C-alpha cells in the first residue's frame, strides 16, 4: 500500500534504471565485478576502467585462440604469421586503452583473473555431476541474465547495480575455490600454489591500498567528492549553493567539507547576488542548465566552472562545481 501511494516517488528514485543503455558498458561492469572478487586492479588515474576490461577480454580471446591454433599449424611461415597477427592486434588494443606501466600491470592481472575464472567454470562443468555445476550456473545467471534482457528491451541499466551481481560473484568464487582445491592434489600443484599466493598478494595489496581510500566501484558520481571538497576547503568563508533537485549530492559531499563551510539550498528564482557580499567564496554544486542560463543573463554575476567530473559513458551526468563572483563592472 505504501508503494502504491508513492508511485511517483518510486519512479523518481529509480530513474537511474531507465535510459543510458550501453551494452558494452554493461558487459564491462559484469566482467569488472568478476575481477573485484579477488581485489582491486592497479590502474592509472588517467585510464578508463571500462576500456581496460573490454581490452583485456579481447586480448584473452585472441591469446586463447592463438594457443588453440598454434599446434595445428605445421607450416612454420603460418605460425610466424599467426604470431605477427596476434602481436598487431595486441598493439592496437593497447593503444585503445592508453596503456602506461601501471595500467599494463593492471591489465595483465585482469587477463589472469578472467582466464582463471573462465577455466574454473570449464573445469567445474567437466569434472562434476550435472546437478552440481548446473546449480552453480543457475546461481551465477539467475539475476544478471533476466535483468540484462529487460535492459535490452527497455534500453535501461538496472543490471549494472552491484547489489544484483552478488550471486554472480559468489558463483565465480565457488568455482575458483573448487578448481584451486582440486588442483593442489595434481601433478602441477606448485603452479597452482603460486596462483593462490598471487591471489593472496592481490587481496592484501587491495586491503592496504583501500585503508584510506573509497574505491570507485563503491561510489557512483560521488567518487568525485574528495576532489570537489579539496577545492572548497582551500577557500575561506565559503558558501556552497545547491538547488533542491540536486540536494542529495550535497548531503554526501558535506562529510568531506570543513565544519565552517556553509550550505544553502535555493529556490529556482532566488537572487544569488545577495550572497556575494556575505561570503568570500560562493560555489554552485551541479547547477542546472536553467540556473546557468539565468546567471549568464545577470550582468552583475560572473560564473566559472572549476571542476568537472570525468565520465565513463557518453550518457552519464557529470558532477561539476562552479564559482560565482561579482562582475568587475560591479566592484
Interval 195-228: pLDDT, tens = 999 999 888 887 787 776 655 555 556 777 888 8
Opening angle at CA 221, ends 236 and 214, nearest 5:
80
Q: What is the pLDDT of residues 67-76, one digit of tens each?
A: 666 666 666 6
Residue range 231-236: mean pLDDT, rounded: 89
Q: Are residues 206 and 225 in the same domain?
A: no
pLDDT confidence of residue 235: 86
pLDDT confidence of residue 293: 86
Residue 330 has pLDDT above 80, yes or no: no
- State the total domains in the chain: 2
Q: Are residues 106 and 247 in the same domain?
A: no
Which of 168, 201, 218 finishes a domain? 218
Residue 38 has pLDDT above 70, yes or no: yes
Q: How far apart are CA 17 and CA 159, in angstroms?
A: 8
Q: Are residues 18 and 91 in the same domain?
A: yes
Q: Are residues 249 and 137 in the same domain?
A: no
Q: How far apart are CA 279 and CA 276, in angstroms?
A: 6
Q: Are residues 141 and 270 in the same domain?
A: no
* Nearest Cα to Cα of residue 55 among 4, 95, 100: 95
Residue range 109-121: mean pLDDT, rounded: 86
Separation in Å, CA 203 to CA 38, 209, 281? 6, 10, 43
- Domain limits for position 127: 2-218
C-beta of residue 138 within 8 angstroms of C-beta of residue 197: no
Residue range 149-166: mean pLDDT, rounded: 79
Separation in Å, CA 278 to CA 101, 144, 237? 49, 52, 9
Residue with the larger pLDDT of the pair 160 and 290: 290
156 — pLDDT class (breaks 50, 70, 90): confident
Q: Are residues 173 and 268 in the same domain?
A: no
Q: Are residues 159 and 180 in the same domain?
A: yes
Q: How far apart are CA 203 and CA 194, in angstroms?
A: 14
C-beta of residue 240 within 8 angstroms of C-beta of residue 262: yes
Residue range 156-165: mean pLDDT, rounded: 77
Residue with the larger pLDDT of the pair 1 and 143: 143
Helix extents (H) in 128-271: 130-141, 144-154, 166-183, 189-209, 225-233, 247-254
C-beta of residue 178 within 8 angstroms of C-beta of residue 99: no
Q: How far apart are CA 301 and CA 324, in angstroms?
A: 7
pLDDT confidence of residue 45: 57
Mean pLDDT, the chain, whole residue set: 78
Q: Are residues 214 and 230 in the same domain?
A: no
C-beta of residue 145 within 8 angstroms of C-beta of residue 176: no
Which of 190, 218, 246 finishes a domain? 218
Q: Are residues 138 and 270 in the same domain?
A: no
Which of 218, 252, 276 finishes a domain? 218
Q: Are residues 166 and 123 in the same domain?
A: yes
Q: Are residues 187 and 268 in the same domain?
A: no
Q: Are residues 310 and 201 in the same domain?
A: no
Residue 149 has pLDDT above 80, yes or no: yes
Amino acid at each position: 500500500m505504501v508503494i502504491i501511494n508513492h508511485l511517483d516517488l518510486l519512479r523518481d528514485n529509480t530513474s537511474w534504471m531507465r535510459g543510458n543503455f550501453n551494452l558494452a558498458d554493461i558487459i564491462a561492469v559484469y566482467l569488472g565485478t568478476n575481477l573485484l572478487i579477488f581485489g582491486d586492479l592497479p590502474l592509472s588515474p588517467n585510464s578508463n576502467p571500462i576500456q581496460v576490461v573490454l581490452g583485456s577480454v579481447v586480448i584473452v580471446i585472441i591469446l586463447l585462440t592463438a594457443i588453440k591454433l598454434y599446434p595445428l599449424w605445421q607450416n612454420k611461415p603460418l605460425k610466424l604469421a599467426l604470431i605477427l597477427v596476434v602481436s598487431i592486434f595486441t598493439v592496437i588494443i593497447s593503444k585503445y586503452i592508453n596503456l602506461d606501466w601501471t595500467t599494463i600491470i593492471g591489465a595483465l592481472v585482469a587477463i589472469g583473473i578472467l582466464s582463471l575464472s573462465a577455466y574454473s567454470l570449464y573445469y567445474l562443468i567437466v569434472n562434476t555431476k550435472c546437478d552440481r555445476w548446473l546449480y552453480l550456473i543457475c546461481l551465477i545467471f539467475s539475476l544478471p541474465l533476466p535483468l540484462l534482457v529487460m535492459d535490452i528491451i527497455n534500453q535501461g541499466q538496472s543490471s549494472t547495480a552491484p547489489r544484483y551481481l552478488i550471486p554472480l560473484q559468489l558463483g565465480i568464487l565457488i568455482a575458483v575455490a573448487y578448481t584451486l582445491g582440486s588442483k593442489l592434489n595434481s601433478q602441477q600443484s606448485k603452479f597452482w600454489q603460486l596462483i593462490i599466493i598471487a591471489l593472496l598478494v592481490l587481496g592484501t595489496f587491495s586491503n592496504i591500498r583501500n585503508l584510506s581510500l573509497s574505491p570507485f566501484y563503491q561510489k557512483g558520481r560521488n567518487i568525485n567528492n574528495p576532489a570537489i571538497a579539496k577545492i572548497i576547503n582551500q577557500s575561506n568563508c565559503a558558501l556552497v549553493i545547491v538547488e533542491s533537485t540536486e540536494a542529495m549530492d550535497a548531503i554526501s559531499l558535506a562529510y568531506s567539507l570543513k565544519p565552517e563551510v556553509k550550505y544553502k539550498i535555493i529556490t529556482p528564482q532566488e537572487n544569488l547576488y545577495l550572497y556575494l557580499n556575505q561570503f568570500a567564496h560562493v560555489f554552485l554544486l551541479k547547477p542546472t542548465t536553467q540556473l546557468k542560463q539565468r546567471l549568464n543573463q545577470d550582468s552583475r554575476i560572473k560564473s566559472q566552472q572549476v571542476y568537472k567530473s570525468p565520465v565513463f559513458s557518453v550518457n552519464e551526468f557529470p558532477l561539476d562545481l562552479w564559482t560565482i563572483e561579482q562582475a568587475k563592472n560591479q566592484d
